[in-house]
């Protein structure tokens, strides 16, 4: 039997385009002789549909779209992720399901048992967990069909009390199929590989895994659908960060014609680069926009964002606005201009002094000669936001935020100033990783001026200001932040690792008091296992511990 894996880029709630893509893939698979084509989890509506699922109109549209796909499914079978209604009066109203459709008829509906409800996941908010397990049967072959998390309960501290495969294996299936919507992070590929390998080895069955690809606001899917043999060895995988469709032959309990291969994961920096480019591109294309604006300072963060945006949208669709303050150095302007020229993107120069001076004069009767402090620094940063947002409002550009994760963490940024934007490109990329990205971007030629990379980071909002005046060096800062943000260690545990106690206390305090700022920042493209935003939900008014 020939089985096609269809790895597609869905758009949440866009039933027209999703259905069209799915039907086209069915046609493609059929033309390649496939008997069965497998689509991802919640393929029909995109993932995560979030509170759309609370609108009965939405689930009706899902039903209608499934009917359309079923009609197109003639002379072939398909497995298709979609929400379905729970017929039981007790429990949540919906299931997260996999339709098994053969010759236009729904043969079985399999429901997800393990509902991820942590980090960016909220599945128990919407779905009732499945409690009864049965294999599907196609052309005489018993298939253990599961949905994403159903396979992930395979570790030493399992998150769930049951394991669907432990039930399904009792029916002696010949093949496992898992449909997923498993978000990307730079370390996700390693975990995923291990989980899939462990499952196929434990149950001694070949495994076909189909993931989504594409970006949904902040959540990026990298694709990378996999095929494993019954010994836990990888046979093949689909493309990363792209749509793909491939047909495999399954016969007599085994996948034919493929030898176990070595899996060489991409370098983290390349994964992050590709993830961010996809994230920007899909944010714009799925929102119906094409042009971006950003403030270009001559520093490394905005330079990297500008290069990523040029790659994602085309340089001709990127407007870089240089907004020097009276404290900006000449070389900053030159570095920014060099970058714009290297990329070939549009640029404008608008000095902010006139607006900043106007505010200073207007506030003089109230401030009465009080010394220059963060108030005046922020007036400059906010004047810049007024300017780039005016570009957005006048010409339809979408503002890209250029703050990095280290800054977001310690609150080193101005709310309604440089923290503005429709989407944050680097908000999940630590400063040390931004340097890696810059070098990656420059791998073939100098796109980002070396000056932007080597000079000491500065906000240039007062004379001679440098990041290192108020922050430890970024190697130390990022290592410390990783312990607190990603690993959720206490100050005591972090200090025990050898970090300076005073620095730890100061930095953790900065992180905590910046919660109110982060609440109002744009959605952040997620590339790490713990990004700020929907996956990290901290109290704002609370007494912090560290």
Residues from 363 through 402 that contact its own copies (CB under 8 A): 363, 365-367, 370, 373-375, 378-379, 382-383, 385-387, 389-391, 393-394
Interface with its own copies (CB under 8 A), residue from 117, 204, 439, 468? 117
CA-based radius of gyration for the chain: 26
**In terms of CB distance, is 48 or 449 closer to its own copies?**
48
CB-count burial class (<10 Å; 0-12, 13-18, 19+) for 341? exposed
Question: Does position 350 bind its own copies by CB under 8 A?
Answer: yes
Q: How far is the CB of 167 from its own copies (least distance, A)?
A: 15
Question: Does position 103 bind its own copies by CB under 8 A?
Answer: no
CB-count burial class (<10 Å; 0-12, 13-18, 19+) for 211? buried
**In terms of CB distance, is 269 or 352 closer to its own copies?**
352
**In terms of CB distance, is 105 or 166 closer to its own copies?**
166
Instruction: Give CA–CA dist 101/17, Å, rounded.
Output: 20
Question: Does position 57 bind its own copies by CB under 8 A?
Answer: yes
Token pair belonging to 289: 């926009």
Q: Cβ neighbours of residue 331 under 8 Å, at least 6 residues apart? A: 298, 451, 455
Closest CA to 481 of 196, 472, 363: 472
| Candidate segments 197-205, 412-420, 437-445, 473-481, binder of its own copies by CB under 8 A | 412-420
Question: Does position 536 bind its own copies by CB under 8 A?
Answer: yes
| Candidate segments 68-76, 82-90, 141-149, 475-483, binder of its own copies by CB under 8 A | 82-90
Q: What are phi and psi of 47, to 5 degrees?
A: -130, 135
Interface with its own copies (CB under 8 A), residue from 31, 87, 118, 140? 118
Q: Please list every residue from 5 through 44 that binds its own copies, using CB under 8 A.
A: 11-15, 17
List the beta bridge partners of residue 219.
216
Instruction: Give CA–CA dist 400/398, Å, rounded.
Output: 6
Residue of 21, 30, 41, 102 marked catalytic = 41
Token pair belonging to 115: 């509902």
Question: CB atoms < 10 A from the CB of 464, how many?
Answer: 9
| Candidate segments 85-93, 137-145, 223-231, 471-479, binder of its own copies by CB under 8 A | 85-93
Whether the bond into 48 is cis, omega within 30 of 0: yes
Instruction: Give CA–CA dist 38/180, Å, rounded.
Output: 11
List the beta bridge partners of residue 294.
320
Instruction: Give CA–CA dist 292/269, Å, rounded.
Output: 23
Q: What is the x/- site pattern for its own copies, positions 489-508, by CB under 8 A?
A: -xxxx---------------
**In terms of CB distance, is 166 or 267 closer to its own copies?**
166
Question: Does position 362 bind its own copies by CB under 8 A?
Answer: yes
Q: Please list every residue from 281 through 340 that binds its own copies, using CB under 8 A.
A: 282-283, 286-287
Token pair belonging to 494: 């972090």
Rounded (5°) CA angle 529-530-533: 135
Q: How far is the CB of 542 from its own copies (least distance, A)?
A: 4
**In terms of CB distance, is 177 or 388 closer to its own copies?**
388
How does DSSP classify residue 169? G
Question: Does position 546 bind its own copies by CB under 8 A?
Answer: yes
306 is catalytic: no
3-state SS, residue 436: helix
Q: How far is the CB of 140 from its own copies (least distance, A)?
A: 35
| Candidate segments 68-76, 179-187, 240-248, 535-543, binder of its own copies by CB under 8 A | 535-543
Interface with its own copies (CB under 8 A), residue from 40, 238, 400, 422? 422
| Candidate segments 304-312, 343-351, 426-434, 445-453, binder of its own copies by CB under 8 A | 343-351
**In terms of CB distance, is 197 or 483 closer to its own copies?**
483
**In terms of CB distance, is 28 or 122 closer to its own copies?**
122
Residue of 148, 306, 345, 408 marked catalytic = 148
Q: Where are the alpha helices (DSSP H) in 142-267?
A: 164-168, 188-203
Residue of 2, 21, 30, 112 marked catalytic = 112
Question: Does position 542 bind its own copies by CB under 8 A?
Answer: yes
3-state SS, residue 147: strand
Interface with its own copies (CB under 8 A), residue from 416, 455, 486, 510? 416
List the beta bridge partners of residue 97.
82, 111
**In terms of CB distance, is 37 or 292 closer to its own copies?**
292
CB-count burial class (<10 Å; 0-12, 13-18, 19+) for 99? buried
Q: What are phi and psi of 287, to 5 degrees?
A: -90, -10
Interface with its own copies (CB under 8 A), residue from 124, 172, 204, 261? 124
Question: Does position 159 bind its own copies by CB under 8 A?
Answer: yes
**In terms of CB distance, is 61 or 76 closer to its own copies?**
61
112 is catalytic: yes
41 is catalytic: yes
Interface with its own copies (CB under 8 A), residue from 87, 132, 140, 161? 161
Token pair belonging to 15: 């039933």
Closest CA to 83 of 64, 70, 102, 68: 64
Q: How far is the CB of 327 from its own copies (least distance, A)?
A: 17
How many residues are recorded in the chain? 546
Interface with its own copies (CB under 8 A), residue from 48, 206, 295, 472? 48
Distances (CA, A) of 430 to 51, 195, 390, 409: 31, 27, 29, 9
Interface with its own copies (CB under 8 A), residue from 307, 308, 352, 441? 352
Token pair belonging to 243: 């749509």
| Candidate segments 32-40, 77-85, 141-149, 515-523, binder of its own copies by CB under 8 A | 515-523
**In terms of CB distance, is 11 or 455 closer to its own copies?**
11
Token pair belonging to 231: 């010994």
Residue 383 contacts residue 352 (beta carbons within 8 Å):
yes
Report, as residue numbers or ranges, the catalytic residues: 41, 112, 148
């Amino acid at each position: 039997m020939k089985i096609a894996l269809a790895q597609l880029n869905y758009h949440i709630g866009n039933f027209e385009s999703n259905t069209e893509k799915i039907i086209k893939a069915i046609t493609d698979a059929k033309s390649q002789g496939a008997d069965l084509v497998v689509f991802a989890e919640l393929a029909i509506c995109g993932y995560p549909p979030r509170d759309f699922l609370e609108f009965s109109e939405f689930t009706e549209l899902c039903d209608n779209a499934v009917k359309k796909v079923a009609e197109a499914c003639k002379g072939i079978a398909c497995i298709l992720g979609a929400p379905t209604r729970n017929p039981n009066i007790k429990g949540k109203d919906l299931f997260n399901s996999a339709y098994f459709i053969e010759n236009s008829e729904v043969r079985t509906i399999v429901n997800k048992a393990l509902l991820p409800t942590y980090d960016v996941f909220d599945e128990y908010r919407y779905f009732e967990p499945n409690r009864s397990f049965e294999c599907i049967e196609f052309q005489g072959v018993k298939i253990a069909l599961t949905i994403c998390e159903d396979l992930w309960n395979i570790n030493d501290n399992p998150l769930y009390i049951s394991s669907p495969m432990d039930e399904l294996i009792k029916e002696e299936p010949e093949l496992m199929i898992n449909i997923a919507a498993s978000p990307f992070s730079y370390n996700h590929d390693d975990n995923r590989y291990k989980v899939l390998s462990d499952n196929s080895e434990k149950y001694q069955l070949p495994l076909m895994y189909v993931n989504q690809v594409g970006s949904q606001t902040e959540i990026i899917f990298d694709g990378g659908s996999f095929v494993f043999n019954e010994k836990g060895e990888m046979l093949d995988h689909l493309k990363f960060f792209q749509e793909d469709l491939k047909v495999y032959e399954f016969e007599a309990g085994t996948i034919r014609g493929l030898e176990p291969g070595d899996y060489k994961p991409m370098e983290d920096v390349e994964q992050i680069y590709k993830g961010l480019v996809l994230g920007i591109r899909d944010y714009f294309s799925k929102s119906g926009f094409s042009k971006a604006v950003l403030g270009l300072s001559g520093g490394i963060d905005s330079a990297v964002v500008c290069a990523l945006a040029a790659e994602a949208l085309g340089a001709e669709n990127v407007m870089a606005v240089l907004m020097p303050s009276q404290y900006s150095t000449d070389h900053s302007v030159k570095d920014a201009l060099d970058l714009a020229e290297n990329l070939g993107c549009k640029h404008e120069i608008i000095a902010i002094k006139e607006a900043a001076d106007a505010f200073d004069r207007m506030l003089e009767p109230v401030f009465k000669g009080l010394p220059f402090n963060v108030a005046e620094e922020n007036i400059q940063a906010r004047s810049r936001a007024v300017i780039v947002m005016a570009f957005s409002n006048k010409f339809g550009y979408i503002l890209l935020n250029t703050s990095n994760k280290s800054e977001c963490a310690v609150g080193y940024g101005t709310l309604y100033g440089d923290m503005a934007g429709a989407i944050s490109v680097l908000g999940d990329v630590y400063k040390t990783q931004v340097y890696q990205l810059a070098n990656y971007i420059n791998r073939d030629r100098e796109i980002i001026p070396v000056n932007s990379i080597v000079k000491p980071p500065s906000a240039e909002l007062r004379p001679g200001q440098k990041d290192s005046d108020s922050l430890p060096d970024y190697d130390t800062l990022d290592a410390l932040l990783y312990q607190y943000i990603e690993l959720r260690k206490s100050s005591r545990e972090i200090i025990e690792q050898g970090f300076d106690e005073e620095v730890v206390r100061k930095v953790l305090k900065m992180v905590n008091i910046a919660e109110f700022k982060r609440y109002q920042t744009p959605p952040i493209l997620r590339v790490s296992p713990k990004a700020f935003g929907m996956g990290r939900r901290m109290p704002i008014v609370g007494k912090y511990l560290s």
